[in-house]
Amino acid sequence: MIFRQLFDSVSGTYSYLMASRAGGEALILDPVLEKVDRYCQLLRELDLKLVKAIDTHLHADHVTGLGELRDRTQCVTVMGEQTKADVVSMRVSDGDKIKIEGIGLDVMYTPGHTDDSYSYLMGDRVFTGDTLLIRGTGRTDFQNGSARAQYDSIFNRLLKLPDETMVFPAHDYKGDTVSTIGEERRYNPRLQVRSIDEYIELMNNLKLPNPKLMDVVIPANMHVGLRQDDLAKRGLALTPREAIARLGQPDILLVDLREAHERAKHGTLTGALHAPYPDIADSLKPGGMLREVAAATGRRIVFFCAFGERSAMAVTAAKDAGLTNAVHIEGGIDAWKKAGGPVVAG
């Protein structure tokens, strides 16, 4: 496996790039905006295709690289379902699994530092965000943080993992790069408490200053979504109500770009063809499934996804491939449901 731990010295942030092989799909955890050039250079050097970019939570000390990486690589952006970010391509919840070629991350909801904090388990290692740090824990005094919730996340979730599980946090300020669950249980000073009340008292009396750029960074990180209004102005989008009115018409081909687990969890639209977004380039090539179906039937492709990001990128990809009559449903199936549109089991 290709695994790289990357560091931003300004914010003390660790980002993690991983892939199962050279020439294959890759994902990145907690990217920093100012380091995107470096990430892209490394992707080229290792011959990797970035397909997913994940934030463990809404960061308060640096601007996320999610939006810039999406714009440069057309990757899928991922955060937890509680996120306050305006749009990410995929929202996950506890028990989900994030998959790319050869790699799977088990999704663990571990709130406390913030109410949208997640950890990601991959075999012998866990990426803990700011929930569990090396010899420390993330502060709990803003962004709907909760020392009580964090105690539960750490003691009843993370510390239940095998002792040898490696711990890779999102931040470190002392130069430590990795720990283990067993080490943290024994030597993390904040975990040597005798009760949840003692932990709450400890965390409530840290008296830490706010991150220097918090008032700028948090609003920036809440607005990373891909602008979809440009497609609408160019006639390349349907509002949910317009799409609902056209449901069942023989001249359109509904194409669901979400992954199988999203369809199973949230349902799909009647008659929709399943064509997962990571394969969109191949589907639109000469001989590709979508291109051949569109050519054979003369039907207009109507892409949809969870929130409209992947479908907006698919419309652009289709246009670049010469399919000029493709459109997408603004806001995805989330907006479709809010407009009263029917769904069926995926």
CB 179 within 8 A of CB 23: no
Q: pLDDT at position 227, please?
A: 85
Alpha-carbon separation of residue 16 from 45, 92, 129, 291, 296 (angstroms): 16, 19, 11, 36, 44
CB 179 within 8 A of CB 126: no
Mean predicted confidence (pLDDT) in 154-178: 97
Q: Where in the chain is the domain with CATH 3.60.15.10?
A: 2-222
Location of structure tokens 């970019």? 53
Q: pLDDT at position 264, please?
A: 95
CB 274 within 8 A of CB 263: yes
Q: pLDDT at position 155, please?
A: 98
Q: Which amino acid is at 168?
A: F
Task: Give Cα 59 to chain centroid, integer Å.
Answer: 13
Please check the confidence at residue 3 and state whether its pLDDT lies above 90: yes
Mean predicted confidence (pLDDT) in 263-291: 95
- Count Cβ neighbours within 10 Å for each residue of 182-196 and write b for 16 or more, e otherwise: ebbeeebebbebeee
Dist CA 134 CA 130 (whole Å) = 10
What tokens appear for 216 in the block?
Answer: 């700028």
Please check the confidence at residue 330 and state whether its pLDDT lies above 90: yes
Q: Give residues with Cβ within 8 angstroms of 183, minimum separation 6.
A: 167
pLDDT tens readout for residues 85-102: 999 999 999 999 999 999
Q: Where in the chain is the domain with CATH 3.40.250.10?
A: 228-339
Instruction: Give the 3-state secondary structure of 150-198.
Output: HHHHHHCCHHHCCCCCEEEECECCCCCCCEEHHHHHHHCHHHCCCCHHH
Q: pLDDT at position 237, please?
A: 96
Q: pLDDT at position 64, please?
A: 98
Mean predicted confidence (pLDDT) in 48-61: 97
Look at strands 237-238 and 49-54 and give their pairing: unpaired
Task: Share the mean pLDDT of the chain.
Answer: 96
Write down the architecture of domain 228-339 according to CATH: 3-Layer(aba) Sandwich (3.40)
Domain 2-222 = CATH 3.30.499.10: no
pLDDT tens readout for residues 124-143: 999 999 999 999 999 999 89
Please check the confidence at residue 324 and state whether its pLDDT lies above 90: no
Mean predicted confidence (pLDDT) in 66-70: 97
CB 254 within 8 A of CB 269: yes
Which residues on neighbouring strands pair with residue 125, listed in sequence order? 122, 166
Q: pLDDT at position 249, please?
A: 93
Q: Give residues with Cβ within 8 angstroms of 294, minimum separation 6.
A: 253, 301, 323, 326
Which residues on neighbouring strands pair with residue 32, listed in sequence order? 64
pLDDT tens readout for residues 169-201: 999 999 999 999 999 999 999 999 999 999 999
Q: pLDDT at position 213, please?
A: 86
Write down the pTM of the prediction.
0.94
Give the rounded percent of residues in the chain with a pLDDT score beyond 90: 93
Q: pLDDT at position 346, please?
A: 81
Provide the 10 A C-beta neighbour count for residue 95.
9
Q: pLDDT at position 211, please?
A: 87
pLDDT-based confidence at residue 212 (cuts at 50, 70, 90): confident
Mean predicted confidence (pLDDT) in 268-282: 95
Better-predicted residue by pLDDT, 324 or 154: 154
Mean predicted confidence (pLDDT) in 262-269: 96
Q: pLDDT at position 252, please?
A: 94
Alpha-carbon separation of residue 215 from 60, 84, 138 (angstroms): 8, 15, 18
pLDDT tens readout for residues 221-260: 999 998 888 899 999 999 999 999 999 999 999 999 999 9
